[in-house]
Amino acid sequence: MELDAGIRAYLDSPMGQFPPLEQFTPEAVRELLRQYPAPVLAPPIHAVRDLRLRGAQADLLVRLYTPSAARDLPLIVFFHGGGFVICNVDMYDDMCKLLANASGCAVASVDYRLAPEAPFPAPLEDCYAALKALAAQGERLGIDPTRLAVAGDSAGGNLATATALLARDREGPPLRYQGLLYPFLDPERASASAETLGTGYLLTRDAMQWFWGHYLKSPADRMNPLAAPLRAKLSGLPAATVATAEFDPLRDEGEAYADRLRAAGVAVTGRRYLGMIHGFASMPYVTAVANRALADLGADLKAALTA
Q: What amino acid positions are annotated as catalytic residues?
A: 154, 248, 278
**Listed residue (227, 235, 301, 229) closest to 262, CA to CA:** 235
| CB 205 within 8 Å of CB 78 | no
Distance CA 34, CA 37 (A): 6
Contacts of residue 173, Cβ cutoff 8 Å, sequence gap at least 6: 131, 132, 135, 145, 148, 167
Closest among 107, 260, 114 to 183, alpha carbons compared? 260
What are the helix and strand counts (H, E) for the chain? 11, 8
Q: How far apart are CA 253 and CA 94, in angstroms?
A: 27
Q: Dihedral (C-alpha) 149, 154, 155, 157: value to the nearest 10 degrees?
A: 20
Are 255 and 182 a contacting pair, CB within 8 Å?
no
